[in-house]
Chains A and B, each alone.
Chain A
Amino acid sequence: MTDWLGPQEWIAVALSLKVSLWATVLSLPLAVLTAWALARKRFPGRQLLNALVHLPLILPPVVTGYLLLLSFGRRAPLGRFLEDTFGLVFAFRWTGAALAAAIMAFPLMVRAIRLAFEAVDPKLEQAASTLGASRPWVFATVTLPLIAPGIIAGAVLGFAKAMGEFGATITFVANIPGQTQTLPSAVYAFLQVPGGENSALRLVLVSVTIAITALLLSELIASRVAKRIRGS
């Protein structure tokens, strides 16, 4: 595969995988927490949180990217704070691409997981509590196993979204080969130069393959888990 893909193309694919993986893995716990709060809790500001979570889905990605730049740029207060305290720089780094991908994927993950939460019968959780399980135990031994298919679906959806993220990424971290040039950015870049169509086409093929593999894999895992949960 390394022979078939040129070095710049290969680097873009590898970077995209890295960025998407980090984006998915790091935002998944937060997505579960948010989905749980939205599905189960009634608190002031719940609608506001709901709107905030869904905002990246509706805003033009360029706008999201620019907002990220305004908040996490090296001269922005938050960006400077993160750099000074944790040495964490987002602007024009692959970490920034991961952040942008995570934020764009977040609403999709939350939606899938929230649906799973709402499908869990609270009566089962009540039964668990009468059997001696405290709330964290009920969550770990009843709720979590029952929402597992939703979490898997959310993670795959989020991963696919992260792989395809373009607008926010290019606005926030630009299109630097080897640094922030993800697969979609590379396709875009190749299409801008004469004779780049072949490279672009190869990347498109890779992109399609990854997407289909991810979907099939998630379907397989989810149906296994669902079968186990239904108990058949």
Chain B
Amino acid sequence: MRLSVALSHRFDGLDLDIRFEAPAGVTALFGPSGCGKTTVVQAVAGLLRTDSHHIQVGERVLSDSATRTWLPPHKRRVGYVFQQDRLFPHLNVRQNLGYGRWFARNRATSDFDQITGLLGIDALLNRRVAGLSGGEKQRISIGRALLAAPSILLMDEPLAALDEARKSEILPYLERLRDETNIPILYVSHAMSEVARLATTVVALNAGKVVRAGPAEEVLSDPASAQALGLRQAGSILTGRLVAQHDDGLSELAVSAGTLYLPRIHAAPGARVRVRIEAQDVMLSRTRPEGLSALNILPATVRAVHAGGGPGVIVQLSAGDDLILARITKRSAAALDIRPGASCYGIVKSVSVAQSNIGAPRRPAGA
């Protein structure tokens, strides 16, 4: 199943022209606020009609301005998880979960127990909505959307209204959702850490246009798109295997370029782990540094250097099979003679990698 979107619309002060394809997995619509992310999601759901539109899920056309096709929201089979939970206050948890399921009763719906188990809400079924925490409510609203047997899931900043603790409570569930269902998920966010952790595909938007689209690792480690995604948020994704848990609180991770020591990762040895290394946390050295406190020193080759308007440059390194971004000053780049082809070492302090940047990679389908 694959979602194709082509939209254009003229707003006051914003010309929207967006085309992209979202395959199975999580497609992150990423960009600054006001760039048109929510418009896209609402158009897919049928809550907003743009001037011209063509939206298709698999073979099913949801709307097409050329043929004047327009399915109303309730016929689109689109699961929508809103920023605020929007649970029905007059129904209890079980009734909320059953709402969409009842309208989908003639189709094959997901197994109720399986979904409530996946989201960890089986103990809440007979509770009223009002007494629940924000994280519980959001998990229920995800379950409610899933149980309506949607052919695609839309999540519009589902974590934005939650605090950090609640976010980290939900993220593992979203990872499981990504891996255990075959529904394409369109995930709107302006938080890079969420995108880096969940996305398999990234569509970067800016001012109503698609700036860059493609597989997450590729887009996020491309120095050219770092500018569009926001330099402060630039960073690359590494996938590795957890080798050992050490007594001093560090976890040892094997990546293609070598070994990374990171703050405790809560997974069993052997587990695959996905880590985001922020570009501003990576230092470069032309020689292997000695007597340095940083634990992670990866031999690498410079692939590209991307200079922007500011004092910094983004350097793309290839280390083993992985790509790493480093953000250094133009002055350092010149002093060290950093140019494509140069060999160097990428240095990452262990403690600079935050827990929120560590997650599970998408398991290949069927695994």
Chain A contacts to B: CB under 8 angstroms:
123-124, 126-134, 137, 141-142, 145-146, 228-232
The distance in angstroms between the C-alpha atoms of A229 and B87, with both chains bound, is 11
Question: A130-B80, A131-B99 in contact; A229/B73 too (CB < 8 A)?
Answer: no
Contacts of B349 in A (CB 8 A): none
Residue of B nearest to A146 (CB): B90
* A132 with B148: CB separation less than 8 A: yes
Known: A123-B84, A142-B88, A229-B89. A130 touches B73 (CB 8 A): yes
Give the CA-CA distance A126 to B38 in the complex, in Å: 15
Given contacts A137-B103, A230-B130, A232-B131, contact A129 B74 (CB under 8 A): yes
Count the B residues whose beta carbon is within 8 Å of the partner chain — how many? Answer: 30
Q: How far is the CA of A130 from the CA of B130 in the complex (A)?
A: 22
- Chain A nearest Cβ from B38, distance in angstroms: 13
* Complex CA distance for A145 and B99, rounded to whole angstroms: 14
Contact of B72 among A124, A129, A229, A231 (CB under 8 A): A129
Q: Across the interface, which residues of A come within 8 angstroms of B54, CB to CB? A: none
Is the pair A130, B90 in contact by a Cβ cutoff of 8 Å? no
Besides A130-B74, A229-B90, 16 new A-B residue pairs in contact (Cβ under 8 A), listed by A number: A124-B88, A126-B73, A128-B99, A129-B72, A130-B73, A131-B100, A132-B74, A132-B100, A132-B148, A133-B74, A133-B103, A231-B90, A231-B131, A232-B128, A232-B130, A232-B131
23 sample A-B contacts, Cβ–Cβ < 8 Å, listed by A number: A123-B84, A124-B89, A126-B86, A127-B82, A128-B88, A128-B99, A130-B45, A130-B46, A130-B73, A130-B79, A131-B74, A131-B145, A132-B75, A132-B100, A133-B99, A133-B103, A134-B74, A137-B74, A137-B103, A231-B128, A231-B129, A231-B131, A232-B131
- Chain B nearest CB, measured from A190 CB (Å): 47
Does chain A have a CB within 8 A of B255? no
Q: Give me the 7 closest cross-chain CB pairs, A-B, nearest first.
A: A132-B103, A131-B100, A231-B130, A130-B80, A231-B128, A127-B86, A129-B73
Q: Which residues of B contact A142 (CB under 8 A)?
A: 88
**Whole-angstrom CA separation of A202 from B367 in the bound complex:** 84
Query: Min CB distance, A38 to chain B, in Å?
Result: 23
**Contacts of B84 on A, CB cut-off 8 Å?**
123
Q: Which residues of B contact A137 (CB under 8 A)?
A: 74, 103
CB of B87 to closest CB in A, whole Å: 8
Q: Give 1 or 0 for each of B126-143: 1 = CB within 8 Å of chain A CB.
A: 001111000000000000
Are A145 and B74 touching (Cβ within 8 A)?
A: no
Is the pair B77, A132 in contact by a Cβ cutoff of 8 Å?
yes
A132–B129 CB distance below 8 A: no
Question: Please, which residues of chain B bring their CB within 8 A of the CB of A132?
Answer: 74-75, 77, 100, 103-104, 148
On chain A, the residues within 8 Å of B80 by CB distance are: 127, 130
User: Given that A145-B90, A229-B89 are contacting pairs, would A131 and B148 also be in contact in the complex, using a CB cutoff of 8 Å?
Assistant: yes
Q: Which of B46, B74, B103, B148 has the most CB of A within 10 A?
A: B74
State the CA gap A228–B92 with chains docked (Å): 10
Residues of B within 8 A of A228 (CB): 90
Residues of B contacting A130 with CB < 8 Å? Answer: 45-47, 73-74, 76, 78-80, 145
Q: Which residues of A contact B272 (CB under 8 A)?
A: none
Q: From residue B8, how far is it (CB to closest CB) to chain A in Å?
A: 23
Cβ of B53 within 8 Å of any chain A Cβ, yes or no, is no
1/0 contact trace for B303-344 toward A, CB 8 Å?
Answer: 000000000000000000000000000000000000000000
CB of B94 closer than 8 Å to a CB of A:
no
Contacts of B74 in A (CB 8 A): 129-134, 137
Interchain CB contact under 8 A, B88 and A126: no
Say whether A134 contacts B99, CB under 8 Å: no
Q: Give the residue among A127, A133, A228 with the most B Cβ atoms within 10 A.
A: A127
Q: Which of B90-107 contact A (CB under 8 A)?
A: 90, 92, 99-100, 103-104
C-alpha spacing A126/B82, complex, angstroms: 10
Chain A residue nearest in CB terms to B82: A127
Question: What CA separation (Å) do A130 and B76 show in the bound complex?
Answer: 8
User: Is B144 part of the contact surface with A, judged by Cβ < 8 Å?
Assistant: yes
Cα distance, A142 to B82, chains bound together (Å): 17
Contact digits for B108-137, partner A, Cβ 8 Å, 1 yes 0 no? 000000000000000000001111000000
A37 to chain B, nearest CB (A): 21
Q: Which residue of A lies closest to B45 (CB)?
A: A130
- The smallest beta-carbon distance between A96 and chain B, in angstroms, is 39
Q: Of all chain B residues, which has the CB nearest A129?
A: B73
- Nearest CB of chain A from residue B46's CB, rounded to whole Å: 8
- Bound state CA distance, A33 and B75, in angstroms? 26
B88: which A residues are within 8 A, CB to CB? 124, 127-128, 142
Q: Which residue of B lies closest to A127 (CB)?
A: B86
| Residues of B with C-beta under 8 A to A133 | 74, 99, 103
CB distance from B95 to the nearest CB of A (A): 10
